[in-house]
C-alpha cells in the first residue's frame, strides 16, 4: 500500500509513474488526498471536543467541591451534549478512514523509473540471454508426451483424483522432483538464506499483508468455514513472519528460503499453451525472500537475479531475463525481472521465475519497520523471487535433455537423483 505522505508530496510523480501500468490514476489520487484532508479535519475537531470535555470535567469537579452545584450542573448539560457529538464524530471519522483505506487498497505500487511503459508481455524488455538451444533428434516430443512415454507423470490420474491441473508424479519423475527441491534449497542456504518450513494456509490478514487480498482473491482457494486461504506462493506466509515487527537496523538484511506446494485457481486458463506442466492448480516452488534497508534493496535485487542466473547456468538450460513493463508488472511490485527457459520441443519461452522488489508497498501493509540510526521507525523494503518454480523447470529439463536413448539428467542433479538417465 502506498504511503499517504508519499502520495501528498509526490502526487504528480505517482500519477505519471502509474501511467506505465496503463492506469490513469489522477482521480483516485486526488480522492485519496481529499479523503485524507477530511480525515485530518475530523480528527482535529474530535481532539478539540475531547479536550473541551476533559477541561469541563475538571471544572465541574472544582465547582462541586466549592459548593457551586448550580453552575456545575449547568456545565454537566454541556458535557452530555459533547459526549453525543464526539460519538457521532468518531463514527464519521472511522467511516472516512475506512473509505480511505479501501481506496488505497485499489492503487497498485508505483513502478521504478527503469520500468518500461507497456501494456502486455510483448512489451517486456529482454536484458539478457544465455545458453545454447539444443538441436533435438527427429521425433522429439513435448514434455507431456515424454511423461506418458516414460511413465513419470500421470496427468489423467491426477484428473481422476482431483481434477485438471493436479498431476501425479511417479517413479523417477517423483525422484527428479524431489531432487530439484533439495538442490534449490541447498543453493539458497549456501547463499545465506535461512530455511523455513511454512504453513500452507494463511488467514485474511496475511493475504492483505502481502497484497494477494483483495487484488487476487478470485485466484486463491478459500476454506470458507475457517476463513483461511491456501497459499499461492510461500511469499505469503514467509513475508508475514515480519508482520507487525520492528527490527533493529543491525538485523538487516534478512534472507529466508522455503519449499512449499502452491495452489492457484487460475480461473479461465485453457488451451494448448497451458497443456501439461505449463500451468497447474497445484505445483511445487522454492522461494527466496529478503527484508532490506531501503538504501540497499536494489543492490539486493541484482544479487537475487545473479543467484537465479547461477542456478540456471548449473542446470545448463537456455534462458533469458526480462524486465517487465508496467502493464505486465504485478500489483505489489515496483520492479520485476522474469526468467524464462526455452522449451525446444514446444518452440517457446516458459516463465520459471519472477524476482521482484516491492520497496515499502508490502511493508506499509505489514507494518514492517526498523529503527534507523536516529532511533526512528522506518519502513523496510521487501523482495522475493522464485528459486525456482518446479513445473516449467522440469518441463525444460525433460524437453531439452531428451535423446533417442532417454532423458539425460543435468550433471548437477545426479548426486540428488541417484541416476543419470530416465529410460
What single string gives the DSSP state of each residue in 215-278?
TTGGGS-EETTTTEEE-SSTHHHHHHTTTT-EEEGGG--EEEEEEEEEE---TT--SGGGTTTT
Question: pLDDT of 111-136, one tens digit each?
Answer: 999 999 999 999 999 999 999 999 99
Q: Is the pLDDT of residue 408 over 90?
A: yes
Strands 335-343 and 406-408: unpaired
Q: Tell me the three cell numbers of residue 50.
A: 475531547
Q: What is the pLDDT of residue 76?
A: 83
- Considering only residues 152 and 72, tell me which one the structure prediction assigns the higher pLDDT: 152
Annotated binding-site residue? 37 = no
- Whether residue 351 is annotated as binding a ligand: the answer is yes
Mean pLDDT value across residues 83-97: 94
Does 233 show up as a binding residue in the annotation? yes
Residue 216 predicted with pLDDT over 80: no
Tell the CATH topology of 4-105.
Helix Hairpins (1.10.287)
**Domain 121-422: homologous superfamily in CATH:** Bira Bifunctional Protein; Domain 2 (3.30.930.10)
| Domain spans in the chain, listed from the N-terminal domain onward | 4-105, 121-422
pLDDT score recorded for residue 272:
54
Was 353 annotated as part of a binding site?
yes
How many other β-carbons are positioned within 10 Å of the β-carbon of residue 285? Answer: 25
> How far is 287 from 386, CA to CA, in rounded Å?
5
Of the candidates 341, 307, 193, 349, which has an alpha carbon nearest to the alpha carbon of residue 256? Answer: 193
The predicted structure's pLDDT at residue 20: 97
Buried b (16+ CB within 10 A) or exposed e, 50-84: eeebeebeeebeebeeeeeeeebeeeeeebeebee
The response to whether 292 counts as a known ligand-binding position is: no
Report the candidate in 193, 189, 285, 183 with the shortest Cα–Cα distance to residue 231. 285
C-beta of residue 188 within 8 angstroms of C-beta of residue 286: yes
Residues forming a β-bridge with 288: 257, 385
Residues β-bridged to residue 86 = none
264 labelled binding-site residue? yes
User: What's residue 273's pLDDT?
Assistant: 63
Confidence at residue 270, expressed as pLDDT on a 0 to 100 scale: 54
Chain mean pLDDT for the chain:
95
User: Is 359 marked as binding a ligand?
Assistant: no
Q: Binning pLDDT at 50, 70 and 90, where does residue 402 land?
A: very high
391 pLDDT tier (thresholds 50, 70, 90): very high
- Secondary structure (DSSP) of 347-411: TEEEEEEEEEEEETHHHHHHT-EEE-TTS-EEE-EEEEEEEEEHHHHHHHHHHHTEETTEEEPPG
Partners of 22 in beta bridges = none
Average pLDDT on 275-285 reads 94
Known binding residue 365? Answer is no
- With contact defined as beta carbons under 8 Å apart, do 219 and 232 qualify? yes
Residue 77 pLDDT: 83
- Annotation-wise, does 384 bind a ligand? yes
Is 336 buried (19+), middle (13-18) or exposed (0-12) by CB count in 10 A? Answer: buried
Is pLDDT of 155 > 70?
yes
Amino acid at each position: 500500500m502506498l504511503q499517504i505522505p508519499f502520495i501528498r508530496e509526490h502526487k504528480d510523480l505517482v500519477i505519471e509513474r502509474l501511467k506505465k501500468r496503463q492506469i490513469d490514476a489522477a482521480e483516485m489520487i486526488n480522492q485519496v488526498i481529499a479523503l485524507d484532508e477530511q480525515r485530518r479535519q475530523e480528527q482535529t475537531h474530535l481532539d478539540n471536543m475531547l479536550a473541551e470535555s476533559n477541561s469541563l470535567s475538571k471544572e465541574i469537579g472544582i465547582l462541586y467541591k466549592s459548593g457551586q452545584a448550580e453552575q456545575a450542573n449547568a456545565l454537566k448539560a454541556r458535557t452530555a451534549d459533547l459526549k453525543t457529538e464526539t460519538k457521532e464524530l468518531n463514527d464519521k471519522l472511522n467511516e472516512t478512514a475506512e473509505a480511505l483505506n479501501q481506496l488505497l487498497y485499489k492503487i497498485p505500487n508505483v513502478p521504478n523509473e527503469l520500468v518500461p511503459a507497456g501494456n502486455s508481455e510483448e512489451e517486456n524488455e529482454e536484458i539478457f540471454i544465455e545458453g545454447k538451444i539444443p538441436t533435438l533428434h527427429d521425433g522429439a516430443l513435448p514434455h507431456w508426451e515424454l511423461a506418458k512415454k516414460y511413465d513419470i507423470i500421470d496427468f489423467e490420474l491426477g484428473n481422476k483424483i482431483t481434477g485438471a491441473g493436479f498431476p501425479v508424479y511417479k517413479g523417477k519423475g517423483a525422484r527428479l522432483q524431489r531432487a530439484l527441491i533439495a538442490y534449490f534449497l541447498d543453493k539458497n542456504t549456501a547463499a545465506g538464506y535461512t530455511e523455513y518450513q511454512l504453513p500452507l494456509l494463511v488467514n485474511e490478514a496475511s493475504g492483505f499483508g502481502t497484497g494477494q487480498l483483495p487484488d487476487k482473491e478470485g485466484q486463491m482457494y478459500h476454506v470458507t468455514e475457517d476463513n483461511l486461504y491456501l497459499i499461492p506462493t510461500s511469499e505469503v506466509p514467509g513475508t508475514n513472519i515480519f508482520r507487525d515487527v520492528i527490527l533493529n537496523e543491525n538485523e538487516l538484511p534478512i534472507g529466508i528460503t522455503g519449499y512449499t506446494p502452491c495452489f492457484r485457481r487460475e480461473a479461465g486458463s485453457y488451451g494448448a499453451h497451458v497443456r501439461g506442466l505449463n500451468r497447474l492448480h497445484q505445483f511445487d516452488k522454492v522461494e527466496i525472500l529478503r527484508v532490506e534497508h531501503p538504501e540497499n534493496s536494489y543492490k539486493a535485487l541484482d544479487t537475487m537475479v545473479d543467484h537465479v542466473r547461477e542456478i540456471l547456468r548449473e542446470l545448463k538450460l537456455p534462458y533469458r531475463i526480462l524486465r517487465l513493463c508496467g502493464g505486465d508488472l504485478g500489483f505489489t511490485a515496483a520492479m520485476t525481472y522474469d526468467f524464462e527457459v526455452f522449451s525446444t520441443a514446444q518452440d517457446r519461452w516458459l516463465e520459471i521465475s519472477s524476482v521482484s522488489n516491492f520497496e515499502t508497498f508490502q511493508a506499509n501493509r505489514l507494518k514492517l519497520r526498523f529503527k534507523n540510526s536516529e532511533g526512528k521507525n522506518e519502513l523496510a523494503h521487501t523482495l522475493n523471487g522464485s528459486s525456482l518454480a518446479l513445473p516449467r523447470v522440469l518441463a525444460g529439463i525433460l524437453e531439452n535433455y531428451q535423446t533417442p536413448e532417454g532423458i539425460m539428467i543435468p550433471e548437477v542433479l545426479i548426486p540428488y537423483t541417484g541416476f543419470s538417465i530416465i529410460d
